[in-house]
Amino acid sequence: MDGLVPRPVRVDPAPGVCELDDLVVPVVVDPAAGLPAEGYRIRIAPSGVHAVAADEAGKQHAEQTLRQLAGPETFRAANIHSGRWVLPCGEIVDHPRFAWRGCLLDVARHFQPKAAVLRFIDLLAAHKLNVLHLHLTDDQGWRIEVPEYPRLTEVGGWREGSWVGRPPDGTEEHDGRPHGGYYTTGDLREIVAYARERAVTVVPEVDIPGHSQAAIAAYPELGNTGAALPVRTAWGISEHVLNAEESTVAFYRRVFEHLVDIFDGPVIAVGGDEVPTVEWREHAAARAAELGLSSPDDLHGWWIAQIAGHVAGLGRRPLAWDEAVDAGPLPPDTIVASWRGEHGGIAAAQAGHDVVMCPEQHVYLDHRQSDRPDEPIPVGYLVPLRKVYQYEPIPDGMPETVRERVLGAQAQVWTEHLDNPRRVDYAAFPRLAAFAEVVWSPPEREYDEFERRLVRHHLPRLDALGVEYRPLEGPRPWQTRPGVPGRPR
């Protein structure tokens, strides 16, 4: 019973085993069982298995734990096991530490095919993670069909090429290979339903008022200059942001109404990060004054207030990146995602907002996993497996009185340099397994103990699932990236 990931709250092994002909164990949902939300209890005796859960999510978690106990073969897509399943005897009592156990998948920088998103949801559920934050729009692509505005996907859904590497290692030229894709309304409804069946809530993000060049390429009237722009082929942040005209706000209100129609979860993300104000200073000073703002820079907060207010009016909770706290007053129900570090989350909690911690220094899984020369695209902070495992979502500097504002934490898989699901696997795993334990298990953690459990028990499960994770000893020859100076060709 010692190989479970994430580690349960309480495990009491007992002698003996229980042998089963098949692994379909009924988990009884009993809200009166005295278990916390998402909790479950499993008793295994030689005579049989008795499992009870607080709710549907707890039932899913109990089923994942039973799979883990029965061995890695249970993670294959078809049963190739012969003989009986053998479960160790004992009792497990378990529930999550945090209600928000999230992972962001950026499907804008590199489109991830629908099948890959569904598979990613399976992987989240296998790790008892329960929020998929889908980053659906950015400068480099718009991935969500909005029937009223077909050019968003016809034009904004693809780009002429993608930046190769990352200066100074890469070049500033794009590769000349068109990249694109988008999800239809039906695809998105399917993703939402598939996730719901696995106790995963999808939080969609349309990023405003920056990170919007793909939308402006589709509809130049959304921009500040009216000039025709391409969908951006370079990474980094575009200076082309949304203008502050009432017609543009109305356009985005419709887009968010469409989102609310498709995504039935309680939270809708409005972005709000990394907003250059150069264009507003040049083109929108009069509009800012007309709106009663003291500077064009204040259009950042004004925009977030327009859209977050609209989302709140539609009965959902807005989620915004932490710049939004500095940018201006937010609807009180807004959840703040603290990505630039922990200070934004602390300030937001003190201002009365619920917070999801996702600091780039600890849980950005596109960032490099080691300083080895063969590590592919060594972007960002050094975020090795150990550092993710040792991450603590309640910051030391957060006053006791506001700690309950931390709903949980979220890992981020940005995909500038992850152009297919194999690369996503490499970046996400096994770090996401470590992260799952951070947000689920009690806070006392010992890395070496985790690593032993990971290698002995959990990597074989990832192998059975077909996850092309990064081996602990470093990338396999085909997982490095050729053609980057200092790295093998």
56, 169, 273, 374: which one binds ligand ACM (CB under 6 A): 273
Total chain residues near ligand ACM (CB under 6 A): 4
Of the CA atoms within 13 Å of residue 400, those in its CB half-sphere come to 0
Whether 298 is catalytic: no
- Is residue 463 within the footprint of ligand ACM (CB under 6 A)? no
Rank residues 321 and 440 by Cβ distance to ligand ACM and give the closer one: 321
Q: Which member of 56, 122, 175, 274 is catalytic?
A: 274
Rank residues 271 and 378 by Cβ distance to ligand ACM and give the closer one: 271
Rank residues 92 and 208 by Cβ distance to ligand ACM and give the closer one: 208
> Residue 282 and residue 240: Cα distance in Å, rounded?
12
> Residue 119 and residue 112: Cα distance in Å, rounded?
11
Closest by alpha carbon to 251, among 287, 204, 297, 219?
219
Q: For residue 2, what is the DSSP state? A: T
CB of 140 to ligand ACM, least distance (A): 13
Whether 179 is catalytic: no
- Is residue 235 within the footprint of ligand ACM (CB under 6 A)? no
Contact between 19 and 55 (Cβ < 8 Å) = no
**Residues within window 5-34 making contact with ligand ACM, judged by CB under 6 A:** none
Sequence-separated (6 or more) residues with CB below 8 Å from residue 186 = none
- Is residue 469 within the footprint of ligand ACM (CB under 6 A)? no
Whether 274 is catalytic: yes
- Is residue 343 within the footprint of ligand ACM (CB under 6 A)? no
- Is residue 321 within the footprint of ligand ACM (CB under 6 A)? yes
Rank residues 233 and 338 by Cβ distance to ligand ACM and give the closer one: 338
> Residue 221 and residue 227: Cα distance in Å, rounded?
8
Rank residues 76 and 340 by Cβ distance to ligand ACM and give the closer one: 340
> Residue 87 and residue 92: Cα distance in Å, rounded?
12
CB of 356 to ligand ACM, least distance (A): 12
- Is residue 339 within the footprint of ligand ACM (CB under 6 A)? yes
Structure tokens at 468: 């092309």
Rank residues 66 and 407 by Cβ distance to ligand ACM and give the closer one: 407
Q: In 19-155, which ranges are continuous DSSP H helix?
A: 56-70, 114-126, 151-154
CB of 475 to ligand ACM, least distance (A): 24
Q: Residue 220: exposed, middle, or buried by beta-carbon count in 10 A (0-12, 13-18, 19+)?
A: middle
Cα pseudo-dihedral 122, 127, 130, 132, rounded to 10:
-60
Three-state DSSP class for residue 394: coil
Q: Which member of 38, 55, 94, 138 is catalytic?
A: 138
Q: Which member of 61, 95, 127, 211 is catalytic?
A: 211
- Is residue 274 within the footprint of ligand ACM (CB under 6 A)? yes
Binding site for ligand ACM (CB under 6 A): 273-274, 321, 339
Catalytic residue IDs: 138, 211, 274
